[in-house]
Structure 1
Amino acid sequence: MRAVIVDEPGGVESLDVVEVDDPVAGPGEVVIDVAAVGVNRADLLQRQGRYDPPPGASRILGLECSGTVAAVGDGVERWTVGTQVCALLSGGGYAEKVAVPEGQVAAVPAGVDLVEAGGVVEVAATVWSNVFMVAGLQPAETLLVHGGAGGVGTMAVQLAHALGARVAITAGSTRKLDACRELGADIAINYHDQDFVRELRSATDGHGADVILDNMGAQYLTRNVAALAPNGRLVVIGLQGGTKGELDLGVLLGK
């Protein structure tokens, strides 16, 4: 089968289409005939040599896909050949076929076509696990999403809005702010010319955010803590603004 690999880190020219052996379904695995794959920031970073895949993961890029089950391994009970599915992967999605543990496979949601499903599962799993399972966002609470117009951000806006939470986002242009409002954002802040701490506190009568989903890391650490409501939860899922920051523990204790 054909697959996309990176022999040497670099730009798009470092991507190579090569012939590799077809995967075989091991115990508890399914093989998927790939219809579509999502392109995630982690893929770009891996291509650039800035993101190491998990130990033992495929050298083939791709962290999510959709397609049709082509084979099942011993012990697989949830899936049968011919079922349309989407899957979360440790790698291997940029190929014509991929083998994946059955627990990382999901049915294509109703109303979503097979191509669209190739770009759903990574952002959905990221948002659900971090915002709802870890941070425990509740209806009527306020969620602040940095990078609200990105893939994870737009999914977070829609899910939180559907839950009944109040949603605030930051983004860098009027077009992106408007797009987030259309998806359900109640508060839209342009980080280029607005202070998100001040704007959020003003819009929430001084309360702040009960949950913050942050993709910036160190650059926003101090301001994120300042923006938190009492007993608020800060979930960091990205480090675009650096890995090391200073934190006033007195402010943190006050939360």
Structure 2
Amino acid sequence: MKAVIITQPGEPSVLQMAERPKPTYAANEVLIKVMAAGVNRPDIKQREGKYPPPAGVIQDIPGLEIAGTVVETGADVTQWKVGDKVCALVAGGGYAEYCNAPEGQCLPIPDNLSFIEAASLPETFFTVWSNVFDRGNLKNHESLLVHGGSSGIGVTAIQMAKALGHTVYVTAGSDEKCRFCEQLGAIKAINYKTENFKDVIEQLTNGKGVNVVLDMIGGDYTPGNIQSLAVEGRLVLINAMKGKDAQIDLAQVMMKRLVITGSTLRARDIAFKSKIAQNLQKTIWPLLASGVIKPIIHATFKADEAAKAHELMESSAHIGKIMLSFEH
């Protein structure tokens, strides 16, 4: 098979097409002929040598989400058969013509979605569900602040939370991105380059704050996040793009009874990820099938243009997802 490999840690140019043997698969896995794969921030970090895959996962082929057709099934697989069209969350190896995936981490592709659209779903949808609704425990009529509102995570969180009845605020880095986020369902998008988000949130909520903050920024955003949270609020961290060190006002944490938490998904076990898949299929997949929630694709590159896809992601000029196509 053809695969995009990391020839050595470094710039996007280290991504090259190469021939590799098809992956083997376990008894509880399916082998998928990949038609499309999503590009995500962890892929960038892996390419730079800063985010190695878990043990047992192929080390030099990035890619955490795919869509395609099941071509082989393991002996213990009961959910899928050869010919099924699925998208899947994987721990690596997605930038390739074939990829193995645990059966519980696969989801059916809604009839109204293409392979490209379906491949844009797993990484962000699993991440948002796990962190906003499970870990962050966003409940009825509560409010959510999402940093990076125009990112793949952001456009997913906006749509998912709005569809389930929540008030959503976001930050984004340009007026164009802010307008897009508001059209998608955010009550207010705050341009972080011209406004201070904590002051805007204080004004919009009459000083009460928001119930949950989903943060991929970290660093010096943390004091503003603490100030922006309501009593009993939850700060959920999924990345730290501005650094892992932060100042925290412990008095506010105690007085407002705040919860500060966070997670990474890649190293979690199959049972954990499979449970998220079940919740998504029950609650979110009908909203995709009806068009209430839509995949937001910014650009699609051919697989041999993976370096260009990474360059675009690093520029942060995109709104929504960046995709790779393996269709001929």
TM-score category (smaller protein): over 0.9
Unaligned stretches of 5+ residues in structure 1: none
Mapped pair 1:21 → 2:21:
yes
**Residue 246 in 1 paired to residue 247 in 2?**
yes
Whole-angstrom distance in 2 between the partners of 1:123 and 1:72: 26
Q: Partner residue of 1:6?
A: 6
Q: Shift of the alpha carbon at 1:218?
A: 2.0
2:115 partner amino acid: L
Query: How far apart are 1:84 and its partner, in Å?
Result: 0.2
SS of the residue 1:230 aligns to? strand
Q: Percent identity?
A: 45
Residue 183 (1) aligns with residue 168 (2): no
Counterparts in 2 of 1:12-91, with a 5 A limit?
Answer: 12-59=12-59, 60-91=61-92
Partner amino acid, structure 2, of 1:89: V
Q: What's the TM-score, normalizing by structure 1?
A: 0.97
Distance (Å, rounded) in 2 between the aligned partners of 1:111 and 1:208: 38
Stretch deviating more after TM superposition (30-39 or 103-112):
103-112
* Partner SS state of residue 71, structure 2: strand
Structural mapping, 1:22-171, within 5 Å: 22-59=22-59, 60-171=61-172
Please state how far the C-alpha of 1:138 moved relative to its aligned partner.
Answer: 1.8
Tell me how far apart the structure 1 counterparts of residues 149 and 13 of structure 2 sit (CA, whole Å): 30
Please state how far the C-alpha of 1:24 moved relative to its aligned partner: 2.7
Q: Following the alignment from structure 1 to structure 2, what is the Cα–Cα distance between the partners of residues 106 and 250?
A: 44
- 1:82 Cα deviation from its structure 2 partner: 0.1
Moved more, 200-209 or 19-28: 19-28
Unmatched segments (≥5 aa) in structure 2: 257-328
Instruction: Note the C-alpha offset of 1:98.
Output: 0.7
Higher relative contact order (CA 8 A, sep 6+): 2
Query: What value does the CA root-mean-square deviation take over the aligned residues?
Result: 1.0
Q: Deviations over 1:170-195 (max 9, x none)?
A: 01111000000010000111111211
Partner of 2:318: none
Equivalents in 1 of 2:111, 2:237: separation in Å? 31
Q: CA deviation at 1:129?
A: 0.6
Aligned residue for 1:218? 219
Q: Hey, what's the Cα distance between the residues in 2 that align with 1:175 and 1:117?
A: 26
TM-score in terms of structure 2 length: 0.76
Letter in 2 for 1:155: T
Aligned residues: 255
Please give the per-residue CA displacement for 1:9-57, whole angstroms capped at 9, x wherever unaligned: 1112211211111123321110000000001111111111222211221
**Cα drift, residue 198 of structure 1:** 1.1
Structure 1 CA distance, aligned partners of 2:40 and 2:110? Answer: 20
